[in-house]
Amino acid sequence: MKPHPWMANSGGTAKQEMLAALGASSVEALFAQIPEDHYMKGPLDLPPQLSSEVALARHLDDMMGRNTVFPAGSCFRGAGAWPHYVPAICDEVVGRYEWQTSVFGAPTSDHGRNQAWFEFTSQIGALVEMDFVGLPVYSWGCAVGHAVRMASRITGRRKVVVPQVMDPERRMVLETYCEPTEMARHIEIVTVALGPDGCVDRDDLRAKIEGAAALYIETPGYLGVIDADPGELCDIARAAGAEAIVGVDPLSLGLLEAPGAYGATIAVGPTQPLGVHMYAGGGVGGFIASPDEERYAREYNTLNVSISQTREAGEFGFGLALFHQSSYGMRDEGKDWTGNSVYLWALANAAYMSAMGPEGFAEVGRLIMARARAAAEALNALEGVSVDLTQPVFKEFVARFDKAVPQVNASLRAAGILGGKDLTGEPGIEGNAALFCVTEVHTQTDIDRLVQAVKEAIA
Amino acid sequence: MTAPIKDFAKRSNGYRAAKWSEPVVMQMTGTGRRGVVFEDAPAPALPGKSARKAAPALPEVTEHDALRHYLHLSQMTLGMMGISLFGTCTMKYNPRIGERASLDHLRGLHPLQEAETLQGVLEMYDNFSDFLCEVSGMDQFVFQAGGGADAAYTHACVTRAYHASRGELQQRDQIITTIQTHPCSPATANTAGFEVITLSLEENGYPSIEQLKSVVGPRTAALMVNNPDDMGIYNPDIKEWVRIVHEAGGLCFYDHANFNGVMTRLRARELGFDACMYMLHKTFGAPKGGGGPAVGAYGCAEHLVPFLPGPVVVKDGGSYRLDADRPQSIGRVREFWGNAPQVLKAYAWARAMGAEGLREAADISVLSNNYMDWRLAQVRGVSRSNPGIDAPRMEMTRHSVEQVTEETGCSIFDISMRMTDFGIDALWLSHEPFLVPEPFTPEAGELWSKEDIDYWIDVLEHVIGEAYADPEIVKTAPHNAAIHQLTSALDEPDVWATTWRAYERKHRKQMAAE
Amino acid sequence: MSRLGLIINPVAGLGGAMGRKGSDETDIAQRATAEGRVSQAPHRAARALAAFRAQSDAPVLAGPVLPDGDAAQAFGPGALTQTAKDTLATVQAMQGQVDLILFAGGDGTARDICAANETGIPILGIPSGVKMQSGVFARSPERAGRLSAAFLADPRRRTEMVEILDLDEAARRDGRLSAQLYTVARTALDRQGARQNPKAGSTDPVGDLDAALAAYVAEMEPDTLYILGPGTTMKALKDRLGGGSLLGVDLAEGGRLTGIDLDDTALLARVRGRRVRVVLTVVGGQGFLLGRGNQQISSQVLRAAGLPPIDVICGAEKLAGLTPQELTIDTGDPTLDGTLAGYWPVITGAGRKQVVRVVA
C-alpha cells in the first residue's frame, strides 16, 4: 500500500520507530485486550480504495451528476428548507478550515469562534427582541421539541396545544420529543383549530389551553399566513399559566413584529434562511430564545455562550454559561441532552445577519412579500387554480388545483421547475393543494415562467 | 508542521496566536453602511398589529467589513491549525474534496424533491449504508440523526417502538448503561422516558457480569454501552453481556464513538448487538464544525429496521426511492433525511480509505496511542488510569497529572491552558464525574505524524517542568493567545449575558466606566 | 478582605501511632510527650498552607499552635491547656474574624470545631487524624489548601452540607467500631471541573438529587412504613414530608412523618407486622451505608422488619469519589451483613440509578 495522503505515519519509518520504542514485534500484539472470538469473521468486502483524489473526485462527480439541481429561480418549494439567496461571503466564512475543523477548544485558544457564536445569539436576540438565546439546535422541529419540554419542566404540566395545521415534518419531530402515551412521563399534544382566515381560532384555543404547559403557534404559519395579532394568542396562553412559544421565520422579522415585543415567552425558528444553502435538508438548524430570567435560562438544553471579562482590563472573552444547568428548584424530570448541533451554520448565520443589518432585513422582507403576492395573484388568475388572496402571507401560500398535484408537478419538472409541495391529504387540507414558496431569488421572469408552466400543466 | 519544542526557547519564531482587535459586531451600529442590498419593493399592507415597530438593533457594516471581521475571528481560532489530540473526538484530516463536492452538488438540492431528481444523493446514501453494514454487520443504516447524541436518542426511540410493538413498553422501562459510557446515552434514554441504571467500574476497569446480572430483568428495555471506553479499556465480557440482556428480552446498542481502534477487527452485529452508531464527523473524516452539523449514523439489524425513522432510502432495481410508508417507524428525530453534505464527506473519506486504509488507520491509532503511553510514562508526575492493568490500551488512554498538581499546585486546567501557548489546542480531560483526578485523555489517531505526537509530549513535559520551576507562568496562562483567561462568574444570573442586549442591560454601568 | 482561619490540633493523629483508635483521651498529649511522639498536624497544615499561599494573599490566622515554617498570624489563647479546650477557644475567637476555617485534625477535631462554631463559618479538613469518617476532609493537604484559596477568591462562596461523624466511644469500648453522626457542617463546595468542556455533557448533582427526592416522595406507597435514615440528603427528603430530624432516624407513613429521632428499641416496636422500606443515604466521607451514624437501624430492627427492601439515595459525584468504588455495611451482625452484601442500585437522580457494590 502506498503512503496515504491523510495518514502521516503510513509512510516512512514512523511505525517501525514506534514499535521499536515499545519493544513490540508487531502491531497485532497491541490488540491483546480483545478476545480471539470477538474478531470479525472473514475479511471486509468493501469497494476498492480510491486514495487518488482525481479518481475519488471523478467517482463523486459521476454519482452526484445523477441529481437534478433546480436553479435558484426555478425552485418554488419550501416547507422547512427554503430557496433563499446565500451571499458569497457566507460560504467563505463557513469554509474557513480553522473553525470548520475545530472541536471545542478553550475560550482562549478558540476565541474567534466563541465570539462569532456570541454574535449569532446576539443578532438573533436583536431580531426576536429577547435577551437570552442559546446556541442553535439541530432544526426548527427540534427547537420546538426542546421548547415544549422546557415549558413542561417550568410549569410541571404535560400538555401542549399546537395548531391543527402544522408542518408534518415538524409535527413528527415534536411527537418524538413528547414520547408515546405508554410512557409515564409523556406530554400530550392537543390541536387547536384554524379559522377560515387561516389563523388560530381564539375560542377553540380558550377551550383547550386549560392545564397546558405551553401553546405553540407559528407566524407566518406552515401555510404562510401572517397572524394579525399573535400577542392575543400569547395573552390567552399566559392567562392560563401556559408558556407562549412562538415559531417565526427570522427573514420576516424586518417587517413583522418581534415575538419578544408581543408577549411570547419562548421564540423558536429556523436558521437555514440566514445564509445557509438547502443542502438536501442538511442546511437546517433551529434557535431557541427567551427572556433572560432564571425560570427560562435554567431549563435550556443548549450550550450557552456568554460574554465575559478577562484578566486584561477592557478585554472581552466568551465562555460557557450555565454549563451545569444547576436548577435549585424542584424539577419533575431529567434534562434533555446536549451534543453536537449545527454550530458551523451559526457562523454563516452571524455573517449573514451582520451583512444584512436592519435595513437589509426590511428590504428583503418587502421583496419576498411583493414577489410572493405577485406569484399568488398570477396563479389565481389561471383557470383551474385558486389562491385565497384574502389571507396575508409572507413567502409561502397554498394554491388549489382542479388537477392532481403530482401530475402538475411532473409537468413542471419537465419544464425544469420544482413546483410547490404537495399538501393533498394533509390534516386540514381539502382537495388538491400545493404549498408554493417565492422568495428574493425569484424574479418576475421566473414567476412568469412558473405561471406559464402551470398553465400548460393543467391544460 | 511544527518545529520541535527543543528549539522553542532558542528561536524567536515560535508559535504566536493571531490577534486582531475585533470589536463585538453589535458595536458596529448606526453607521448607515450596508453589507447586502436588494431591489426595492413597495411596503406591503400588514394585517392588524403584525407590523414591527422598532427596527432590529443589528450592525451596519459593508460587505468587506463583515467578511474581514469573520475572517479575523476565524484566524483567532486555534483548533486543528496547531496540534489537537482531543480524545474521544478522533481528530482527523477533513479532506477538502468532500467540501468541494458538497458545495458543487448538494447546495441547491431541496430535501422534498421527488426521488427521480435525487438519484445521485440517494445512491450515495445507499452505497454508504451498504459500506457501513459491511463494516458493522448490520442490515440498514440511516443518517437522519444530527449527531452522535441524536443517534443515541434515535436508539431510545427505536427501543420504545420495538417494545411497544410487542406490547411490553409499559413493562420495560429501564435502560442499562455504564459510568464510562458517554453521557448522551443516559441523557437521551432519560429524555425518551426510561429509567436509567448506571453500572459502576470494578477492579478490571469495567463492571462485572455479576453486577450486570443484578439489574437485568423483565423491566430491561435496552443496554447502551461503548467499548472500548475512554480509558482505553476493552470489556472482554461484552458478548456475554449481550447474551444476558437478550435472554431477558432487552435490546443492545453499541455506541461506537470509540471505533477508530477496533475498526476492521470487530463487527457490532457479530458481537450480538442489535444496533450501533458511528459518528461520521469523527471516525469517518467529516468536519466537526466546532459542534456540527454532524451525523450519528444509526445502523440496526433486520428486526429493528421497521422502526427506523423515515424516510429510508430503498433501492428498486436500478433506481432509488425514499420510502416514507413505514407504519411502525418512530417518525422523525429531525426534519428530512440528514446532513447530506456531511454524509457525502464521510462517504468520500471512506471510499478513499477502503478496507486497507481503515485497517491502516486502526493500526496506526492504536500504535500511536501506545507510543504516547510509553513516552508519557517517562514524564515527571504523569500517571496512567487503571495502573494495575498492564495490557496495551486501545486508541486512547486516560492519564493523570495528580502528582504534579500535588507538588506544584498547577492543575490539569492550568497545564492545558499553558499548552495552548505552544499551539496545542485545549486538552480533552474526562467526562464527569471525574473518576481519575486531574485527568487528560489524548488520542493520537492516524492523522498526526510521529513528529507531531513527539512535539505534543515535549510541550507537556516542558510545561510540567515550568510548573515545578515557575508555577505562576502556568497558572496565569495563556500568555500567547488572542485573549487572556476569563474572569467573570458566568453562572451568575446578574453576570451572564448570552446576547449583547443582555450585556448592555446588565453591565451598562461598567460599560460607561470604560 | 477575606481571611482564613487555620486550626491545628497539636495532638491530632497521635493516638493512631500509639495504637489508639483516636486521640480524644484527655491525657493523650502528656502520654505522647512521654513517648517522644510528635503530631503530624503542624507539618500537614504547613503543606496545605503552602498550596494556599501559591494562590492567595489572604491573611491567615492560626491557632492554637502554628504550622511548621509559614509565618501565619498567631491567634487564639496564649496559654495552652493541651486539651480540646484550646481548639474550642480558638474557634470561638475566630467567630466573625474569618471566612473559612481550615483545620488539621480528625473527626474529633471536627466535632470540637462544630461545637464552638456558633456562627456556622464553613470548615474544611486537612486530613491529619486517626479517624476521618466525616465528609469534611479534602483528599490531601494540598487539595485542602487549593480549595481554600479558590473558596476565598470566589465571591459566591459556594458551600455544601456534610455530616460530621465520630467514633461511638461506648461501642468502641465494647470492641466494636461504630460511628455516631454528631452534626452537620458547611464546607467549601469543590467545583473543580465545573466548566471544563461542553463535550463532557451536563451534570447537575444538586438538581439531580433534588429531582430524585421529589420523584421518590411522589412514588411512596401509602400503606408502607418507611424508616428514614439520618444525614443531609435524608433531611431534604424528610422536609418534603413536613420536617424530621437531621441526625436521627425517623418514620414516615401515608405521606407524613409519624416518628422522629427514634432509637432501635422504639423502631423495633414500630416495625413488627408492618410492610417496611428503609431509605438511606451514604453518610460521611467513607462510603458507609449501615453501621456508621445510623446504628439505630440495627440488625435486630432489620430482622424484625423481615429484611425489608433498602433504597439508597446519593449523588453521583459522591459515588464517584469513593475509592474503591464500593459501599460498606457493618451492622455488627456478620451473618446479616453477608446476606445484604451484593450489588445495590443507588438512586442518583429522577429516573436514574447507579449500581454500586456493597461489601460487608
Report if residue B483 sits inside a domain. no
* Residue that has been written with the C-alpha cell 432516624 in this structure: C249
Q: Contact partners of A by the rule of 3+ C-beta pairs under 8 A?
A: B, C
Is residue B52 very low, low, confident or very high in pLDDT (cuts 50, 70, 90)? very high
Task: List the single residue in A81, A91, A169 with the smallest CB-CB distance to B103.
Answer: A91
Work out the average pLDDT over A89-110: 94
CA distance C280 to chain A (A): 21
Q: What is the mean pLDDT of chain B?
A: 93
Lowest mean pLDDT among B139-143, B217-221, C143-147: C143-147
- B157 with B231, same domain: the answer is yes
B488 CB within 8 Å of a chain C CB: no
Task: Please report residues of B whose CB lies closer than 8 A to that of C197.
Answer: 426, 428-429
**CATH 3.40.640.10 location in chain A:** 88-352
CA distance C222 to C213: 16
Q: How far is B402 from chain A (nearest CA, A)?
A: 21
Quick one: B364 and B230 in the same domain? Answer: no
- Residue percentage of chain B with pLDDT more than 90: 85
C143, C197, C348 member nearest B429 (Cβ): C197
CA distance A380 to chain C (A): 52
Residue C229: which of C294, C282, C298, C286 has the closest Cα? C294
Contact C92, C64 (CB under 8 A): no
Burial (Cβ within 10 Å: 0-12, 13-18, ≥19) of residue A62: exposed
Same domain, B440 and B508: no
Is B109 contained in some domain?
yes
Question: Which member of A332, A337, A339 has the closest CB to residue C211?
Answer: A332
Residue where a domain terminates, one of B310, B329, B352: B352
Q: Give mean pLDDT, residues B208-223.
A: 97
Given CA atoms A89, A91, A97, A101 in this order, what sign does their dihedral have?
Answer: positive
ipTM comes to: 0.96
Do residues B444 and B513 share a domain? no
Residue A370 has pLDDT above 50, yes or no: yes
Domain assignment present for B78: no
When mean pLDDT is compared over A53-57, B230-234, C18-22, C51-55, the highest value belongs to: A53-57
The terminus-to-terminus CA distance of chain A in angstroms comes to: 62
Q: Does B431 touch chain C (CB under 8 A)?
A: yes
Is residue B249 in a domain?
yes
Residue B25 within any structural domain of the chain? no
B127 within domain boundaries: yes
State the average pLDDT over residues A235-260: 98
Considering the domain architecture, whether residues B299 and B394 belong to the same structural domain is answered as no
Torsion of CA A125, A130, A134, A136, to 10 degrees: -60
Residues A340-358 pLDDT 10s: 899 999 999 999 999 999 9
Residue B45 lies in a domain: no
pLDDT, residue A327, reads 40
Task: Examine the pLDDT at B123 and tell me if it is beyond 50.
Answer: yes
Distance, CA of A162 to CA of A259 (rounded, Å) = 17
| Same domain assignment for residues B159 and B278 | yes
Q: Which of B198, B282, B415, B491 to mutate to test the interface with C (most CBs of C within 10 A)?
A: B198
Closest-CA residue of B relative to A14 is: B450
Partners of chain B (3+ Cβ pairs below 8 A): A, C
Q: Which domain holds residue B281?
A: 96-352
Is the dihedral angle over the CA atoms A380, A385, A387, A388 positive or is it negative?
A: positive
Distance from CA of A87 to the nearest CA of B (A): 8
Residue type, A391: Q
Mean pLDDT of A439-454: 98
The residue with greater pLDDT, B139 or C107, is B139
Residue B13 has a pLDDT of: 56
pLDDT at C196: 41
Domain count, chain B: 3
User: B285 and B239: one domain?
Assistant: yes
Nearest CA in chain A to C195: A323
Of A303, A333, A334, the CB nearest to C198: A303
**Same-domain status, B455 and B496:** no
Backbone angles phi, psi at B172, to 5 degrees: -95, 90
- Would you call C48 helix, strand, or coil by DSSP? helix
For residues B494 and B471, membership in a common domain is answered with no
At B416, which CATH number?
3.90.1150.10
What φ, ψ does residue C107 adopt, rounded to 5°? -60, -40
Is the pLDDT at A329 greater than 50? The verdict is: no
CB atoms within 10 A of CB A269: 28
Q: B88 lies in a domain?
A: no
Assess whether B396 and B332 both reside in one domain.
no
Q: Which of A229-238, B34-43, B186-195 shows the lowest mean pLDDT across its residues?
A: B186-195
**Mean of all residue pLDDT scores within chain A:** 95
Q: Does residue A21 sit in helix, strand or coil?
A: helix
| pLDDT classification of C18: cutoffs 50, 70, 90 | low
Is the predicted pLDDT of residue B54 greater than 80, yes or no?
yes
Give CA–CA dist B181/B203, Å, rounded. Answer: 17
pLDDT at B135: 97
CB under 8 Å, gap of 24 or more: what pairs does C155-161 form? Answer: C155/B489, C156/B489, C156/B492, C157/C99, C157/C122, C158/C188, C158/C189, C158/C191, C159/C122, C159/C186, C159/C187, C159/C188, C159/C189, C160/C186, C160/C187, C160/C189, C161/C185, C161/C186, C161/C187, C161/C232
DSSP bridge pairs for C326 = C357
In C, which residues are within 8 Å of B199 by CB distance?
A: 354-355
Same domain? B121 vs B193: yes
State the best of C195, C237, C348, C352 to mutate against chain A, taking most chain A CBs within 10 Å: C195
How much helix, strand and coil, in percent to the nearest 5, is found in chain B? 40, 10, 50
- CATH for A88-352? 3.40.640.10
* Residues 6+ away with beta carbon under 8 Å from C289: C280, C282, C283, C310, C312, C327, C328, C329, C344, C358
Question: Which letter does DSSP use for residue B163 in this model?
Answer: H
Both B508 and B428 in one domain: the answer is no
Domain of B143: which CATH number? 3.40.640.10
State the span(s) of chain A assigned CATH 3.90.1150.10: 72-85+358-458
Q: Is the CB of B74 less than 8 angstroms away from the CB of A98? A: yes
Cβ partners under 8 Å of residue A53, min gap 6: A5, B95, B97, B352
Q: CATH assignment of A72-85+358-458, given 3.40.50.150, 3.90.1150.10, 3.40.640.10, 3.30.1060.10?
A: 3.90.1150.10
